Amino acid sequence: MKKRLLLCLLLIVSCSLILPGLDFGLTLDQIVTYSGFNDDMSFIDKGILIPWASGLLGETGEFIVSLGLNYQSDPLAAVPELLLTNLSWRMGPADFGLGRMAYSDPLGYIANGLFDGARLSFDTPAGLLSAGAWYSGLIYKRRANIEMTDRELALNSASINFDDLANTYFAPRRVLAALDWEHPGLAGRVLANLSLLGQFDLGDEDLNSQYLVGKLIIPAGAFAFELGGAFELIQQSGDMETAFAAEMGLAWKGASQGLHLMGRYASAESDSMAAFLPVTTNTHGNVLETKLSGISVISLDYTARLHRTMALGFLPSYFIYTASDQDERLLGAEIFGALYWSPVSDISINLGGGAFLPSLGNVAPNGDLLWKIEMNVIISIF
């Protein structure tokens, strides 16, 4: 593995001598986590080493290549992956991208991550119009983080077997297609974003879903009001179900501090509606880390800059079951705080900690708290 990484670094350096305008670098992202629940405590030491290179292709094109080496101490393991790697060209008002690229829906928690495919965008007076199609089955499974079924959840949690990579390394085989429209100043001031998404199962789960997603951001001085929602159609084994998600937020930005209040709702399983089912699993909460399916979350994100190199964050959240037929629905509250320190632009050190308190709800008021302490160090070399 070390020989492969050294070969990649030598290849990047060699290309820098051949291709003009080439930028390259190396990023180390290390995280140490100590957490506990009841008498069960765990220590996780893991990280990722990312060499990358980017450059120009003629006058209108550019490329980026990035690799990743995921590692952990217990059990000792190292897993390589291909990260953001694509070609793009600018052709007048149009942009075309091909390769492994990042995509996010307007809400940021339905389909959010890296996908393999192509995307074409047009910058018009009516806004930015985009169309793309991607495939997930060649991506490292924990990068894609697709857990739409119990079987996919078990696959994502299982260890990598290098003697059986086809069944233990790759993400579920799904195709994602999207039509997007974004306007930076609708009616002179409103940021509008609308998407039509569809994911189609190429595996054995027979689970397809489509989403109509929209979000509006309305600025008003130092404040901004946010309103978003998603309507979902789910097809599995010949059955059709509907689901719904929504969010509402208020943000305030001061000279050295900011505040973001957000409420999110996702439908639960009922007689008339299915549980909202995103394509990728993006967790909510820093300690509980729950999937937004049948859950409502009220969160507050307060950040204050203490110094030019240091900031403080306070991020409490409250979790509620959205099932209407459940008498006890208040899961509890999470309290989390973080200290962010960046002494120079190439180094970032973040220290955070908090706890989830079920005693502040009525689902399990006598339950033990879940706590976590973590440190994240990011070092970049350009």
Residue 2 above 50 pLDDT? no
pLDDT band at 19 (very low <50, low <70, confident <90, very high): low
Which pLDDT does position 76 carry in this prediction?
A: 86
What distances in angstroms separate CA 199 from CA 147, 211, 241, 285, one per listed residue?
A: 13, 9, 15, 26
Give me 364's structure tokens. Answer: 């399990």
Residue 7, classed as helix, strand or coil, is helix
Q: What is the DSSP letter of 274?
A: P
The stretch 240-246 carries a mean pLDDT of 97
Specify the DSSP class assigned to residue 284: B
Q: What is the pLDDT of residue 1?
A: 44
Q: What percent of the chain has pLDDT over 70?
A: 95
pLDDT value at 42 more than 50: yes
Q: Is pLDDT larger for residue 13 or for residue 231?
A: 231
pLDDT of residue 38: 79
- Which residues, listed in sequence order, are joined to residue 219 by a DSSP beta bridge? 224
The mean per-residue pLDDT over the stretch 189-199 comes to 97
Q: How many other C-beta atoms lie within 10 A of the C-beta of residue 365?
A: 13
Average pLDDT, the chain: 92
Does 142 score more than 70 pLDDT? yes
Residue 182 zone, left/alpha/beta (φ > 0; ψ -120 to 50; rest): beta
Q: What's the pLDDT score for residue 281?
A: 93
Tokens read off for 289: 């880390």
Question: What is the pLDDT, as a whole number, of residue 198?
Answer: 98
Query: Does 10 have pLDDT greater than 70?
Result: no
User: Which residues are CB-contacts of 137 (< 8 A; sequence separation ≥ 6)?
Assistant: 170, 171, 172, 173, 174, 202
What pLDDT, on the 0 to 100 scale, is given for residue 54?
Answer: 97
- pLDDT tens across 316-344, in order? 999 999 987 778 899 999 999 999 999 99
Of 48-57, 140-149, 159-168, the one with minimum mean pLDDT is 159-168
Written as one string, the DSSP assignment of 134-153 is: EE-TTSBHHHH---SSHHHH
Structure confidence by residue, pLDDT tens digits, 71-122: 998 888 899 999 999 999 999 999 999 999 999 999 999 999 999 999 999 9
Cβ atoms of residues 312 and 306 within 8 Å: yes
Q: How far apart, in Å, are the Cα atoms of 326 and each of 270, 273, 317, 323, 329?
A: 11, 15, 21, 6, 6
Count H helices and E strands in the chain, helices first.
Answer: 4, 20
DSSP-assigned states of every residue in 198-230 = EEEE-SSS-EEEEEEEEEEEEEETTEEEEEEEE
DSSP assigned state of 70: E
Q: Considering the chain, tell me which residue range(s) the CATH 2.40.160.100 domain(s) occupy.
A: 84-381
Of 31, 33, 35, nearest to 46 (Cα)?
31
pLDDT at 204: 84
Q: How far is 208 from 196, CA to CA, in rounded Å? A: 14
Q: How far apart are CA 302 and CA 252, in angstroms?
A: 10
What is the arithmetic mean of pLDDT over 186-200?
94
CA-based Rg of the chain, rounded to a whole angstrom? 22
Distances (CA, A) of 294 to 258, 265, 269, 282: 29, 8, 7, 14
CA distance 77 to 168: 14
Report, as an integer, the average pLDDT of 18-47: 88
Torsion of CA 251, 253, 254, 259, to 10 degrees: 40
- How many CB atoms are located within 10 Å of the residue 44 CB? 14
The least confident of 50-59, 70-79, 91-100, 297-306 is 70-79
Assign domain 84-381 to a CATH class.
mainly beta
Position 20 scores a pLDDT of 55
| Rounded (5°) CA angle 168-174-178 | 145
Encoded amino acid at 175, one letter: V
**Location of structure tokens 């985009």:** 130
Instruction: State pTM to two decimals.
Output: 0.90
Listing DSSP states for 150-203 in one string gives HHHHHHHHSPP-TTSHHHHTBPP-EEEEEEEEEEEEETTTEEEEEEEEEEEE-S
Report whether pLDDT(6) > 60: no
